[in-house]
Chain A
Amino acid sequence: MLKYMRKKMISIYRKDQDTLFVHGVLDDDIYSLELDLDISLADLEVLSITGKWNRWTTPECRRSDQFLQEAIGFRDEEGLSQKVHKVIGRKSCRHYANLLLECWHSAREAALAAKWEAAKADRPDLTFEAFLAGKTVSPSEVRAKVTGPRIEVSKGPKPGAKEIKILHEKADGGTLIDLHVHTSPASPCSSASVDALIEEAKSIGLDGICLTDHNYVWSASEVENLRRKHGFLILRGNEITTDQGDILVFGLDNDIKGIVKLNDLREEVERAGGFMIVAHPFRGFAVFGAAQIGLTPEKAMERPMLTLVDAIEVLNAKVTPHENKFAADVAAGLNLPATGGSDAHEVDEVGQYATQFFQEIKNEEDLVAALRSGDYSPVVYRK
């Protein structure tokens, strides 16, 4: 028996010489909604948009209709999908965003077919295939990837489960560092300038921060300049997207683009003598509940990916307390070191969580050595 079904239907006709009328319907076990759009044929720009709910979950779902107008003016360009998810998905409703993209993709193809029809006016025997042969239909993307031999995965938890000690204040001595922050424009999702973020970190009493922008490597000289300018400990890291999720990497200078295999990243990091922390490993599982899918810490400990990392981030300000606790239970069960970081994307988010090292850290070499020592604790600092 089916657990769930979603149907989407799009129909398009030529409203006039320059305009496509697009009608889209999304109907599934949970929601039913519709979109009507006028889209220009020339550049696939949204000229008008209206939405309609037939079935919804919360009484407030229909508030989303008013924000659909923000799609007017959107046109077919690189990054459109992200823009729709960010603007319509966040401000309005993600199901409207999904249907809007479906309408758009369909309009793109309808426009292609319309152009073929127009071309046939001069050449009635022009086939669709011959028409396409003279066009570039999809752009190619070049993605760098890390290559290297695969690493054997040893399965199963490490022996000797330990308790994860979570601090609630800065310790005397040692170094308190927020190991996970994002700055703008290095991380497109962040709105915090690096200077403002550093000044905030200083003002709240942190001893240092580690810049972990998404797949972005700060140059050593840039960071040295920031250190001198602010008189504050700034370290470099990187949050790298792998096929198994996000990994915080320290001590690796390579500029890695695209999605890499976790095994390949492990190889790179080992070669460089670096350190890997799995970031927010259970982010989002509370949306439908661990119990619902039968996920227990013991089951999670069996994940092969956890044998490829050196530590687990158990305090991350972007996930729920329950998800953090779950991560801590898994780290304890596997006897893996545990860290904390704010995952700040705004200035006033820095330092919500941090990591207390019990030795002095002056530079990146000290940081990697300290991470390897395991002598540190995650801290609830500003939360």
Chain B
Amino acid sequence: MPETMPRLLCYARSRCTSVEQIDDQTMRSICRLQDTLTEAVVEILVKLPDLEIIDAQGKFHRTYQDECRNTAEGLKKVIGVRVGPGMLKIIKGLVGEVSECRQLAFMVEECCHGIILAFTKDQLAQAPVEQHQNVEFYRKMIKNNIRLYGRCAAFAPGSSMVEGIEPPTK
């Protein structure tokens, strides 16, 4: 196509995940998806302190995939799962047993990530503004949770974030 052609979009997607604490014991995470082909919402309730999914609901208002029209059984499967490491394999496996709707499992995952990131945000809010202290804050975080070492470019050898920190024992 010539460069002078208008660059009209052939596809657009918007996904929004939001988390709120509805009482001392319960958090709600909602993932809303709207794109050229699909419109859907998934909501989970998570109980503290175990971060156990105690309810999950959702609906595909618009979809081209027959397997995504009925979400109830797939969502019922994730009730009881705990939000945390290893959850992705579990969620994909459980939803996949009863539904071929990949988007459904992905939306549950997005809700769960939202819960984790809500806690991460609380923790990061404590990071000092001054750069030296800020670096020390992250170094301490890595030292206290050495599993973070090497988990991303920022925490990999060569980064100032891990200077002076012994890598996890091999």
The interface of chain A, by Cβ under 8 A from chain B, is 1-17, 20-21, 28-30, 57-61, 63-64, 66-67, 89-94, 98, 102, 105-107, 109-110, 112-114, 117, 128-129, 132, 137-141, 143, 145, 241-246, 258-259, 283-290, 292-296, 299-300, 303, 317-320, 322, 346, 348-349, 352, 383
Contact = CB atoms under 8 A, between A and B. Distances in A.
Nearest to B154: A60
Given A10-B12, A143-B96, 7 more contacts: A5-B18, A60-B160, A90-B150, A112-B37, A113-B10, A244-B82, A292-B123
Contact of B16 (A5, A114, A346): A5
A7 B152 contact: no
A59 B131 contact: yes
A30 B120 contact: yes
Contacts of B15: 7-9, 102
Given A5-B16, A60-B153, A288 B120 contact: yes
A6 B93 contact: no
B129 interface: no
10 contacts: A4-B117, A6-B117, A8-B13, A12-B10, A58-B138, A64-B153, A143-B93, A284-B84, A288-B122, A292-B123
A259 B94 contact: yes
B17 A6 contact: yes
Nearest to A103: B13
B49 A294 contact: yes
A315 B151 CA distance: 22
Interface string B95-133: 011001110001000100110111111111001000100
Given A17-B1, A138-B67, A322-B144, A113 B37 contact: yes
B36 interface: yes
B119 A292 contact: yes
B48 A293 contact: yes
A145 B153 contact: no
A2 B64 contact: no
A30 B151 contact: no
Nearest to A106: B13
Interface string B60-93: 0000110100000000010011101110011001
B145 interface: yes
Given A138-B102, A143-B96, A283 B18 contact: no
Given A90-B152, A92-B152, A286-B144, A5 B17 contact: yes
Contacts of A139: 100
B18 A13 contact: no
Contact of B96 (A12, A117, A141): A141
B13 A102 contact: yes
B120 A14 contact: no
Contacts of A93: 152-154
Nearest to A101: B106
B153 A59 contact: no
A3 B118 contact: yes
Nearest to A6: B17
Contact of A143 (B14, B18, B97, B101): B97
B132 to A, nearest CB: 11
A109 B20 contact: no
Contact of A287 (B27, B67, B127, B145): B145
B11 A113 contact: yes
A9 to B, nearest CB: 5
Contact of B84 (A102, A143, A285): A285
Contact of A57 (B94, B127, B144): B127
Nearest to B118: A4
A58 B154 CA distance: 7
Contact of A90 (B122, B123, B127, B151): B151
Among A4, A7, A91: residue with most chain B CB under 10 A: A4
A7 B13 CA distance: 10
A299 B50 contact: yes
Contacts of B54: none
A94 B85 CA distance: 14
Given A60-B154, A346-B170, A2 B89 contact: no
A217 B113 CA distance: 32
A59 B135 contact: yes
A128 B65 CA distance: 11
Contact of A7 (B9, B16, B127, B144): B16
Nearest to A95: B152
User: A-B pairs with the 9 shortest C-beta distances?
Assistant: A259-B93, A284-B85, A110-B11, A288-B119, A4-B118, A295-B49, A64-B153, A60-B154, A294-B49
Contacts of A299: 49-50
B152 A89 contact: yes
Contacts of A66: 153
A128 B64 contact: yes
Nearest to A144: B97
A357 B160 CA distance: 44
B157 to A, nearest CB: 11
B64 A132 contact: yes
